Every structure is written in structure tokens, then in C-alpha cells.
Amino acid sequence: MSSILYRGALLPEAPLPAPDQPRRWAVLVRDGAVAAVRPDGQAEPNDADKVVDLAGALLLPGFVDAHVHVTDTGLLLAGVDCSPARTVNEILDAVADLARRNPGRQVLGHGWDELNLAEGRSPTAMELDRASGGAVVYLSRVDVHSAVVSTRLAEQARLSEYEGWDGSGRVERDAHHQARHATRFEIPAGERRELQMLALRHAAAMGITQVHEMSAPHIAPDEDLLALLEIGREPGLPEVVAYRGELAEDEAAVRAVLERFGGQLAGLAGDLMMDGSFGSRTAGLLADYEDAHGHRGHLYASAAQVRDHIVACTRAGVQGGFHVIGDGAVAELVEGLRRAAEVLGAETVRAAAHRFEHVEGIGAADIEALAQFGVVASVQPAFDAFWGGEEKMYAVRLGRRRALAMNPFAGLHQAGVALAFGSDSPVTPFAPWEGVRAALRHHNPDQRLDVHTALEAHTVGGLRAVRRKASLRIRVGDPATFTAWTSPGIRVAGATDRPTPLALLAEELTGGDPTPVRTPSSITLATKGTAT
């Protein structure tokens, strides 16, 4: 039996709140579980194998990133990061540099946004050809629903035969899926492992102790997810919870997918597409795009297919769910959910705790439906920070009125919809504190969350989204998976005349400084039940 005593911790909420409660606590961990939580110095055990002084750091459950793409994140970390670019030439220079350093290998990258580029457009195939010396090049847009590719890749994958090819090198829909297939499905096993390890180590460095991998046939082969699940069992790395976005028409189809992955899937959900994205104008809308009149995006599944999928997953005892962005796609999805409830009964559907990803454009009536049927909303606060408000991408694509209605976090929470925060990395980076900050500073003041709700959504909300019981409090009997954090405000929180640690956090996170304010004092103190 191994044990560690963590002393001098601040807790977001004391186990038994009282006016005279102490400000610092001792947490005893035995064999990977919390064995005791007591005021500092009060009947502490003298037989702990190790004592760690947290010196007033705030002890929290580990962050959970409820929507990630691990291999793609590794590709970004090792490839071309287009997100800082403000001109096409900056992207081309980065492509040329990587091609020069890795002759004979494909050049992969991510993160360009034509709205941030001086030319107002993406690179062309001809430009990529010249920069790369004729290599295979794939650069995904920031939303990963479209990309630009080189001529060599277009010819090898025969992209001109697929819907979504426009001749310039830009691909979306089926052509984009084919381009991803051509560049992702042939990655050697050793290189794939390196990419996955790179991404998971980076997540751990951000204080993330669990990630929800959103795999799908159009994203990666079965081998990619199976390899990731194996790596995710290694100590010191975030736990991997796996979803596979495959549409099932009946229970037998669900069980066939589960069998392929050795029963390791949490559900057939995640990047199972109802529609696309706002940035690529493929999200399904009820009214036209502001900057593309006559165009309302695309729907990739019908209410009847949603009904069959939800019924099949419920009967198989796993979660079902979809990627859904636009209000038109949300409406179709909710109609399918209602039809599933007509087949199974509302309580049966509610008990299954299905989950929908993103739900950026959703009205009040559909929010009530999600609450009624117990759906978890897996959302990304950084989307509002990156693209929200009256001037950024949402406003360009949808107009200011609709833009301010996107990502209604407070509306979802107030209606009783469970929230789980994530990044959709590599769409936005692993940065959980910035996710919490974004929820507190939503561009629409009516949709801002309080710090307690936001922290819950980015920690235990992710655990609840995979149907585990969890609390923001550090409780006896819980797995010892937590992190400790310091900041200028937290360092003075030991004084009895100061507000609670959460109140100080709210002050810091909603202040005028837009830079990160926190660094970990201890990274992943304990992970997956094994103290580290």
C-alpha cells in the first residue's frame, strides 16, 4: 500500500463549509484514491510514504478535454502551424521550410483562416507546388471542414472526381474526406505513435488528465484509435475515452462496431456529422448565410437516421451522438431525438445520456428538448473567444444578431443541460484555463457563466459526460486524479479576510489582461489512480 500526503492545499469548496473553516487542507492519497481530507495539521498520518507541500496552491480535479483529435494535434505540433500567419506568403514560407527539412515526406499543416489573411484567400495548389517542390501538401482550415492541397495530392487521391473540389486546390465535403484519407491512412505505425505521444504529453502539461477522442472513418482508420487506446493506458498520460462517429441503423450494427474496437468505445458519437462548420459555410442553417445569399449549408443526416441511430445505441447500452453546428442541423437532430423517444420512451432516452458536440447555433425550444431528453452538450468556449462578437467570423458569416446568439452556454446551463468543455484540438489548442476564461468573458454578457460552473464543465463535466459520477470537491473515495495551481491571486488566498479561491479566480479571469494567468505548481499529481 503506497500513500502520499499533500499538505497546504487550497480547496475550491471545503468538504463541510462553515464560517470558521480553515483555508488550507491536507489530502491523503492511498493506492490512488483519496483516503482523507482534513484541515492542515489536524491528525495527519505520520506513516505516509511521501509528503508534498503545495504551499497554498489550489487543488482541483484534473481538467477534462471533452472533444479532441489526438493524432491531428500531434501532426500540428510536428507540422506547419498556419494559425499565426497573416499573409499567404507566410504560410508558403512555412511549407517550404518543412519540406526542405523533411525531403520526401508529406507536408501536413493546419490553422489557416482566410479572414485573417491580408489577401482574403487561402493558398492555391500551384503556390503550394512551388513552395514544397512538388510534395504532397495538405493544410486544413482552422475549422478542419475544408483544406487546401497540392497538385500531387489532388492527382494521387483523384480529388477532382469528388464533390467539394473547386479546381484551385481547395477541398470540402467528400473531396476533403478523400484528401484526409489519403494523408492520414498511410502514416507508419511508429510515426503515428510519436505523434500521439507528442499530443498527449502536451495535454498533460496543460493539466489535462482525460481526453475524449472523437474518431471517425473519415478522420482515421481503426488502427489509429486502437493504437491511441493502448498508449492512453500508460502512466503519466491523460486517460483516453474513445468515441467512433459511425452511423448505425440497428443494434446489431452498433455491436459490430463495438466488437471491432474490443468493447473499448464509450459510444458511437462525436464526429458523426449532421453538418459542417460556419467558417467553411457547410453548417446547416434555417436562413441564408449573410455573406452567401441563397446558401444554407449542408445536412449530412436525416431525422429518420438520427432516430434509428439513437434507438440502436440506447438498446446497445452505449452513448449516441452527433457533431452539430447550425440551427437547421440542430432542428433536424432534435426532431430525430423526439422520434427516438416515441420509440423508446422519454425516460429511457434520458437515462442513456447521449451527447451532442458543439451545438453552436441552437434556439430556446431546442435547448429545452436537450434538457428534456438528458442530452450532454459537449461545447468549446474558445470558439466564442476566437470567432464570436460583432466583428469576427460568426458576424461575417451570419450577421451580428445571429453571431451574438451563438454558443449559448448560460442558456443551456439554466435549462438544465449538462455541459462538458473541450477544445476540439487542433481546431483550438489545449488550453483549459483559457476555456474557462472564455466562458466567463463570452461576447454576449447574457451567456456568461460563473467561475464555479465553468470550472465544473471543464473538469468533472467531462467525467459526467462519460457517465461517471464526479464532484468539483476533493472527496474521500474518489480517484486521486487532480492538479495543483498557483497564480498571483491564489497566493494571497490564505489570509482569513480574503474571499474564497474561486472568487479570486473569477477576478483574475475576468480582468483586462488577456494573457494566461496560471502556471501549474504540480502537473498531474495523480493520474488514472496511480500517484506520480
Instruction: Check pLDDT > 60 for residue 523.
Output: no
Query: Does residue 437 have a pLDDT over 70?
Result: yes
Cβ distance 125 to 166 under 8 Å? Answer: no
Q: Are 78 and 72 in contact (CB under 8 A)?
A: no
pLDDT in tens, 207-252: 899 999 999 999 999 999 999 999 998 888 999 999 999 999 999 9
Please report where in the chains the cell 495543483 appears, as a residue.
484
Please state, in angstroms and as integers, the Cα–Cα distance from residue 9 to each residue in 131, 459, 484, 486, 501, following that order. 53, 18, 8, 10, 11
Question: Which range has the worst mean pLDDT, 17-26, 78-87, 373-382, 463-472?
Answer: 17-26
* Pairwise CA distance, residues 150 & 129, whole Å: 6
The pLDDT assigned to 9 comes to: 86
CA distance 365 to 359: 13
Grid coordinates 500521439 are at which residue? 196
For helices 125-132 and 88-101, give the axis angle rounded to 10 degrees.
40
Model confidence over 192-208: pLDDT tens digits? 999 999 999 999 988 89
How do strand 107-112 and strand 80-81 relate by DSSP bridges?
Answer: parallel
Average of pLDDT values for 41-69? 84
C-alpha pair distances (Å), 463 with each of 280, 285, 421: 31, 31, 11
**Span of 239-243, 391-395, 492-496 with lowest mean pLDDT:** 492-496
What percent of the chain is predicted at pLDDT more than 90?
67
Taking CA 399 as the corner, what is the angle to CA 411 and CA 437, rounded to the nearest 5 degrees? 45
Residue 508 has pLDDT above 80, yes or no: no
Q: Return the C-alpha cell found at 107.
A: 507536408
pTM comes to 0.88
Domains (ranges, CATH) in the chain? 3-61+471-531 (2.30.40.10), 87-184 (3.10.310.70), 189-465 (3.20.20.140)
Residue 430 has pLDDT above 70, yes or no: yes
pLDDT higher at 459 or 177: 459
> Is the separation of the CB atoms in 238 and 271 below 8 Å?
no
Quick one: pLDDT band at residue 320, thresholds 50, 70, 90? very high
Angle at 149 between CA 146 and CA 153, to 5 degrees: 125
Tell me what pLDDT residue 19 has: 53
